[in-house]
Amino acid sequence: MAVPMLSLYRRHRPRTFEEVVGQDGVVRTLRNAIELGKVHHAYLFVGSRGTGKTSMAKLLACALNAEGGPRVDFSPDDPTCRAIMTGTSLDVVEMDAASNNSVDDIRELRENVALAPMGGSRRVYILDEAHMLTQAAWNAFLKTLEEPPAHVVFVLATTEAHKVPATIIDRCHRFDFARPSLKQIAGVLARVAGEEGIEVPDAALGLIARKATGSFRDALGTLEQLVTYGGNEIRLEDVLENLGVADAELILDTAETLVQRDPKGALLAVKKLSESGRDETQFMRDLAAHLRHLFVVQTLGEVPDSFAVTAEHTDRLATQAERFSQAEIIRAIELLAAAIAAVKDGSEPHLQLEVALLKVTQPQADRSLQALMFRIDRLEARLAAASAPGATSQDAPEDGALSPPNAPGRAGAQGGEQSPRQPGDAGQYAASAGGPAANVRRPPDPAGGPAQGGVTMEAATAGQGGASGFAAAAVAVVEDSRADPAESQAPGAHRLAEPSIGDPADVDLERVKGLWGAVGDAIAEQNAMVAALLAEAVPVALEGDRLTVSFPEAAAFSRKKAEANRDLLLTALRSLTGRGLTVTFELTGGRARPGPATLGAEELLERLKRDFGAEEIFERDDDDPDSED
């Protein structure tokens, strides 16, 4: 009868303190405690799964019960140590709290702790998944844990320390086990593969390490599964097929489409991923991790050595980091995170991945406030570049221009092609900003000719909620500045530039009223209820930095709630006006809505005719017998 073989992670547990990887602080403290004779009677080991908590507890038991011990330089071949490692020692008791969590189980443990050690000097009780004990079991265990017999040492291991009562934690010495790095996991995999005679390429080791998400046990389990699949010679293709992950080349290529703002390339990358049969949700996680690497490279100014495990093409990683702005990276990561969350709620992974990538490559397709502000930043950078002394039309970055790190919206010259601007981009911007492009109109020339620069704020914001209209109008202004640079310097040109969001010195009451809809949009993304309450209010006075906001007499509840959430309003005002305003709320009997709602019927009709070319249409009265059918 064949003897069953132990799994890889059990065969290759660390046998001495020197073999422990990634827990230097824990090892040093325990070694010093053993050498100084200051071993505590209870320890709490906290850490994610597969980080070595149980292995460390067994090493502690070996050191306490070794021949001539306690000693830190024990021999793993000592009979007592070998028995502890194989689980046959009578002096080391392992309990699974997930299945032994009742009061009766703890009572049995209390009766057994009085027994003297059989062969060594200490009895060590290792309680795995300690957080699974019931409250009654903890209460029964408390006194024993506080004052155990002198020969007893308790080691409680848990992945969820917040579920362990504070009265228990207070009686233990706590050690937090760090999650190992990808490089450390890959190093352990390489060592085990060498000892087992397994041939595996470095790229495959990197993929296995990344899939393990910080667990040595998971990494070794995956390696053993791959050996079962393809024998002792593991190929990269086998790893990709079994783990369902995408190779580094596809991740780099997809990130390149984001850098170049290439929606067609992004969709082709998703198609390639689908044809390969890889897990699309895992691909979103891997792509987000790669974007995070780009962010770290930008911050540090170099590619850390640990990233070599996940990206063989270090040069490409550095090049992409130079050409991708930090604002764009953060926005892409947030979109991917939202897509992953939607998949967890039951959405289709393929659809969510495509939508996320298209939003990154085409900001004009995203109507969120963050996307609009991002586009406005880029437009301001283009205007600044176009108006710089000695600048030519070629100096202004196009819509698809790449941005260098830490400067969103500025053209990056560190390499890579810039995406050509597509005809009709301005119309796309205006349409996506909350209404048809016709809502952004130039006022007619007094002489009756075509419009000559300038955009009215009324036309830009009518029916568009403030921020959306402003973004659309800003695009129109940029188009005017491109059409005739000399005209942009004429008096009265580009009237929309006067209420600039980025000019805090010129903020007045009319400016705040004009931006009130955008303020509501910004607050709605944080708290929709507060935004709805503020929709009843209207700014009525601005004295210095003190803004007075008025609610109708019947909206006392709305005013109270608005005061309780004042910080949301202050943050939105600061982001949109550039000034740190203070806000005072009051109740009045006036109307709550400013703007067009205060116009008389005739004046409103005249403005619609003038700005939008509207025509009056008289509906037929069904009750009129003289009306035609």
List pLDDT tens digits, range 92-132: 999 888 888 888 888 888 888 888 888 778 899 999 999 99
Q: Is 47 helix (H, G, I), strand (E, B) or coil?
A: coil
Residue 455 vs residue 348, higher pLDDT: 348
Give the count of beta carbons closer than 10 Å to the beta carbon of residue 282: 17
The token pair that represents 342 in the structure block: 């939607």
Q: What is the pLDDT of residue 419?
A: 40
Contact 20, 55 (CB under 8 A): yes
Question: What confidence tens digit (pLDDT) does each residue in 521-579 have?
Answer: 888 888 888 888 888 888 988 888 888 999 888 778 888 888 888 888 888 888 888 77
Q: Check: pTM over 0.85? Answer yes or no.
A: no
Q: What is the mean pLDDT of the chain?
A: 76
Q: Is 509 helix (H, G, I), strand (E, B) or coil?
A: helix
Nearest to 59 by CA among 183, 97, 43: 43
Question: What confidence tens digit (pLDDT) does each residue in 438-453 have?
Answer: 333 334 444 444 443 4
What CATH number is given to the structural domain containing 335? 1.20.272.10
| 172 in the same domain as 51 | yes
161 occurs within a structural domain? yes
Domain span at 112: 8-176
Question: What confidence tens digit (pLDDT) does each residue in 123-174 have?
Answer: 999 999 999 998 999 999 998 888 899 899 999 999 999 999 999 999 999 9
Contact 573, 466 (CB under 8 A): no
What CATH number is given to the structural domain containing 238? 1.10.8.60
| 25 in the same domain as 136 | yes
| 450 in the same domain as 321 | no
- Report CA torsion sign: 47, 48, 54, 60: negative
Question: What confidence tens digit (pLDDT) does each residue in 488-525 have?
Answer: 444 433 333 333 444 555 678 888 888 888 888 888 88
| 403 in the same domain as 540 | no
572 occurs within a structural domain? yes
Q: What is the pLDDT of residue 298?
A: 84
| 34 in the same domain as 158 | yes
322 occurs within a structural domain? yes
The pLDDT-based confidence of 478 (bands split at 50, 70, 90) is very low
Q: What is the pLDDT of residue 488?
A: 40
| 64 in the same domain as 33 | yes
Pairing relationship of beta strands 582-588 and 546-552 according to DSSP bridges:
parallel
Most confident of the following: 305-314, 352-361, 491-500, 601-610: 352-361
323 occurs within a structural domain? yes
| 510 in the same domain as 487 | no
* Helical axes 566-577 vs 509-524, angle rounded to 10°: 120
Q: What is the pLDDT of residue 497?
A: 37
Contact 441, 469 (CB under 8 A): no
- Could you say which of 433, 468, 497 is where a domain stops? 497
Residue 455 vs residue 388, higher pLDDT: 388
What span, in angstroms and rounded, lies between the C-alpha atoms of 553 and 551? 6
272 occurs within a structural domain? yes
- Could you say which of 176, 197, 219 is where a domain stops? 176
CA 468 centroid distance within chain: 25
Q: What is the pLDDT of residue 45?
A: 94
For the stretch 498-507, contacts whose Cβ atoms lie closer than 8 Å and that sit 24 or more positions apart, written own/partner, are: 499/457, 501/376, 501/470, 501/576, 501/577, 501/578, 502/380, 502/578, 503/578, 504/577, 504/578, 504/579, 507/542, 507/577, 507/578, 507/579
- Could you say which of 497, 529, 552 is where a domain stops? 497
What CATH number is given to the structural domain containing 40? 3.40.50.300
610 occurs within a structural domain? no
What CATH number is given to the structural domain containing 576? 3.30.300.180
592 occurs within a structural domain? yes
Region of poorest pLDDT, from 235-249, 265-279, 552-566: 235-249
| 253 in the same domain as 236 | no
Burial of 53: CB neighbours in 10 Å, binned 0-12, 13-18, 19+? buried
| 437 in the same domain as 333 | no
| 519 in the same domain as 397 | no
609 occurs within a structural domain? no
Number of helical (H) and strand (E) elements in the chain, helices listed first: 26, 8
| 59 in the same domain as 148 | yes
What span, in angstroms and rounded, lies between the C-alpha atoms of 329 and 347? 24
Question: What confidence tens digit (pLDDT) does each residue in 24-68 have?
Answer: 999 999 999 999 989 999 999 999 988 999 999 999 999 998 888
Nearest to 106 by CA among 135, 72, 149, 147: 135
| 254 in the same domain as 239 | no
Contact 52, 58 (CB under 8 A): no
Question: What confidence tens digit (pLDDT) does each residue in 179-238 have?
Answer: 888 888 999 999 999 998 999 888 888 888 888 888 899 999 999 999 988 888 888 888
CA 574 centroid distance within chain: 24
Question: What confidence tens digit (pLDDT) does each residue in 411-444 have?
Answer: 333 333 344 334 334 333 333 333 333 333 334 4
- Say how many domains are in the chain: 5
Q: What is the pLDDT of residue 615?
A: 73
